[in-house]
Structure formats: structure tokens, C-alpha cells
Amino acid sequence: MNFRAAGILRATAMEASRLVLRRAFARSASSAKRKVVILGANGGIGQPLSLLMKLSPLVSDLGLYDIVGTPGVAADVSHVNSRAQVAGFAGEENLGKCLKDADLVIIPAGVPRKPGMDRDDLFNINAGIVQTLCAAVAKNCPKALVNIISNPVNSTVPIAAEVFKKSGTYDPSRLFGVTTLDVVRARTFLASAKKLNPSEVDLPVIGGHAGATILPLFSQASPKVSLSTKELDALTKRTQDGGTEVVKAKAGKGSATLSMAYAGALFAEACLKGLNGVNNVIECTYVESSVVPGLSFFSSKVRLGKEGVDEILELGSLSDYEQKGLEAMKDELKKSIEKGRKFVQSGGGGGGGKKKKK
């Protein structure tokens, strides 16, 4: 046997070994019982997210909740031939039943952004919804991981934190703002600009989840790329304005629901992998953090584990362009965080739950 043939055999054996390990993990991961609950399951994000979570082999039980319409959504997705058992709950009187024994709660509930709607409009409606739902989470499944999708995330995550503090159940390692859509967009836009395979592009997006607080770190992209200042400006701006791009394309009749559902499912699966003991699960997410002095919540890479956040990773080396972007976002992000905190501390809202349906 020559060296080349021997090398091929060794490579084939190694690949076969890796395939066996992957299949073994898939079996063990899918055997773990994990209940996922979606609050706002009858909405524009909630319905496709419900389908995607039903398709996940990591989900054994799927609870779907909304003010109205959820039994129909549950009946529909329950016909999909995958592992998860589905139950639908409608009405505030059934919220606790839906949340019981949840390992992961995903909250896409709220109204979408529409043309002419400013951040205050969005905040005033969705803040009360998030407050009401998180109070129910604190009462019925205080140990669950909580993924907040409801906008504006920069403020709704601090709202959730204050609600959990008031109930005595707050664990910062278990509360997440889902910023995965920003990462998905940055990867997609960079791949398109540089003629790369989108599935092979990786780069972090840090900061928050609105406008200039969204900062893609193209200097840390893999594979490495060279971008002119003009290209960098265009890609950064498009990532920051991705939501507006969709709202305009839908002519005011919708927002980013399908791509948000996809991103929400990606992050949910990462959380479930962490709970199941998979090593080195790293995602960008908006969490309580001290990585940037003066900002108590910030989105950056974190390592997920059996208790939620295992470790918040350092930002790494930033380019001059990115450093300027970081400095420029600080005031806006700090104001958004404080706005969320004061909403709960001043006793605001609490009655917004009836507007959850998208």
C-alpha cells in the first residue's frame, strides 16, 4: 500500500469515527426531555417559530400560548411528524398551565414595527406585554431560560430583569435578548458582497438590537475579508437598517417575521444544546454584562452551558472604525436600558397583555 492510499484510509476512518460521534450525540440530545414554551405563538413571528421548534429534535414538549387562536396553531403544527408533543393554550387564565415545567421560554409577543411608528410607540405597547408575561414566568417556571424577542429588546430585557428581581427569582445567566437576526443578516450581506458561501461565514455582532446600537465586527469575520471604507459603511448600515428594509419591502403590511423566527429558532437550539451539556456553544446575545463599562446590558459572544450563560467572552480586537461605532452607541443604549428599568420601578404598564397578538 502506498502512502497516498494509506492516507486516504486514515482520513476515511477518521470521518467515519466523527460520523458515529455525531449520530451518538444526536441520539443522546434528542432523548433529553426539554419543554419549550412560546408566548405569542399566534403572531407573525410566533407561528413560523412554532413550526421550527416543532421540527427540532431537541424539543420533547412544545407549549404554545397567545390570547386567541393558539389551539388552531397547535393543532396545525402537531400534525408534523416530529418528536415534540404540542399543546396550545389561549387566554390569560391558561398562561400558568402552559408555562408549567418549561425549560425554555421564548417571548416573541407584541406588536411589530410599522411605518411611522417610532421607538416610543413600540415601547409603550410592548413593555406592558413583556412585564405581564415575565411575571407569569417568575411564578410558574422560575428556573427556565428566557429568550426575549419582543422589541425594543434594548429595553424589554431590562424590563424582564426588573420583574424577576421584584419576584426574587432573577438569575442573569438565564435571561437573554435574542439578537441573532443581526448576526444572520451581517453574515448574509457580507457573503453576498464578497461572493462567499453564507453558511461558511462567521462574524460577531455586538451592542444592542436597534439602529446604531447594532455593530457588526467585520474585522473579525471568518473567512477574513478586505473591505474598503465605502463597503464597510454600506454593510454596517444595511445590517443596522435590516428591519426597516423589510418593513418597506412589505409596504407597511408586515415586518421581519420569517427571518426573525429562523434566528429565534437558531438561538433557542443553542440554548438547548447548552442545557444538554454540549461543549463550547458560543452565540451573540444581549445579557447583563460588564464587558463594556457603563453599560449594564450588552450583546456580545457568550458561552452557553447547563445553567444558561457559562461565560461572557471578551470583545477581542476592534478596528478603529468599530471602536468609533462602539463609542457612538453608548449613550443611546444606556438610555434604552434605563427606560426599561424605570418602566417597572415606577409601576408602569402591566395591563398590556391583551395586545399580544401580531
Could you write out the DSSP letters of every residue in 117-152?
--HHHHHHHHHHHHHHHHHHHHHH-TTSEEEE-SSP
The strand pairing partners of 177, in sequence order, are 148, 286
Confidence of residue 15 (pLDDT cuts 50, 70, 90): low
State residue 257's pLDDT score: 96
Name the DSSP class of 103. S
Q: What is the mean pLDDT of residues 112-134?
A: 83
- pTM to 2 decimals? 0.89
Distance of alpha carbon 206 from alpha carbon 186, whole angstroms? 11
User: Looking at the chain, which residues constitute the CATH 3.40.50.720 domain(s)?
Assistant: 35-178
How far does CA 173 lie from the centroid of its chain? 14
The strand pairing partners of 37, in sequence order, are 63, 105
Is 151 a known ligand-binding residue? Answer: yes
Number of residues in the chain: 358
Is 45 a known ligand-binding residue? Answer: yes
Distance of alpha carbon 2 from alpha carbon 27, whole angstroms? 38
Q: Could you say which of 54, 174, 187, 209 is catalytic?
A: 209
Distance of alpha carbon 31 from alpha carbon 334, whole angstroms? 42
Is 42 a known ligand-binding residue? Answer: yes
State residue 252's pLDDT score: 82
Q: What is the mean pLDDT of residues 28-48?
A: 90
209 is catalytic: yes
Sign of the Cα pseudo-torsion (175, 241, 129, 156, in order): positive
Please say if the pLDDT value at position 25 is more than 70: no
Distance of alpha carbon 44 from alpha carbon 37, whole angstroms? 16
**In CATH, what number does 35-178 get?**
3.40.50.720
Is 41 a known ligand-binding residue? Answer: yes
Is 66 a known ligand-binding residue? Answer: yes
User: Looking at the chain, which residues constitute the CATH 3.90.110.10 domain(s)?
Assistant: 179-342
Distance of alpha carbon 165 from alpha carbon 127, whole angstroms? 16
**In CATH, what number does 179-342 get?**
3.90.110.10
Is 53 a known ligand-binding residue? Answer: no
Burial class (CB in 10 A: 0-12, 13-18, 19+), 96: middle
Please say if the pLDDT value at position 28 is more than 60: no
State residue 8's pLDDT score: 46
- Decide the pairing of beta strands 308-312 and 104-107: unpaired
Is 43 a known ligand-binding residue? Answer: yes
Q: What is the mean pLDDT of residues 132-160?
A: 97
Please say if the pLDDT value at position 327 is more than 60: yes
- Rounded to 10 deg, the angle between the 320-345 and 119-140 helix axes is 70
Per-residue pLDDT reduced to its tens digit, 78-99: 999 999 999 999 999 999 999 9
Q: What is the DSSP string of 322-344?
A: HHHHHHHHHHHHHHHHHHHHHHH
Asked if 64 and 35 count as a contact pair (C-beta separation under 8 A), the reply is no
Distance of alpha carbon 76 from alpha carbon 129, whole angstroms? 26
**Closest residue by Cα to residue 201 from 223, 177, 185:** 223
Per-residue pLDDT reduced to its tens digit, 189-247: 999 999 999 999 999 999 999 999 999 999 999 999 999 999 999 999 999 999 999 98
Confidence of residue 111 (pLDDT cuts 50, 70, 90): confident
The strand pairing partners of 88, in sequence order, are 64
Is 260 a known ligand-binding residue? Answer: yes
**Closest residue by Cα to residue 124 from 137, 113, 136, 108:** 113
Phi, then psi, of 251 in degrees rounded to 5: 55, 40
Q: What is the mean pLDDT of residues 245-260?
A: 92
Confidence of residue 17 (pLDDT cuts 50, 70, 90): very low
Per-residue pLDDT reduced to its tens digit, 124-141: 889 999 999 999 999 999
Is 238 a known ligand-binding residue? Answer: no
| H or E stretch covering 281 | strand 281-288
Distance of alpha carbon 120 from alpha carbon 267, whole angstroms? 27
Is 40 a known ligand-binding residue? Answer: yes
Q: What is the DSSP string of 43-98?
A: STTHHHHHHHHHH-TT-SEEEEEESSSHHHHHHHHHTS-SS-EEEEEESGGGHHHH
Is 140 a known ligand-binding residue? Answer: no
Asked if 213 and 331 count as a contact pair (C-beta separation under 8 A), the reply is no
Q: What is the mean pLDDT of residues 297-326?
A: 98
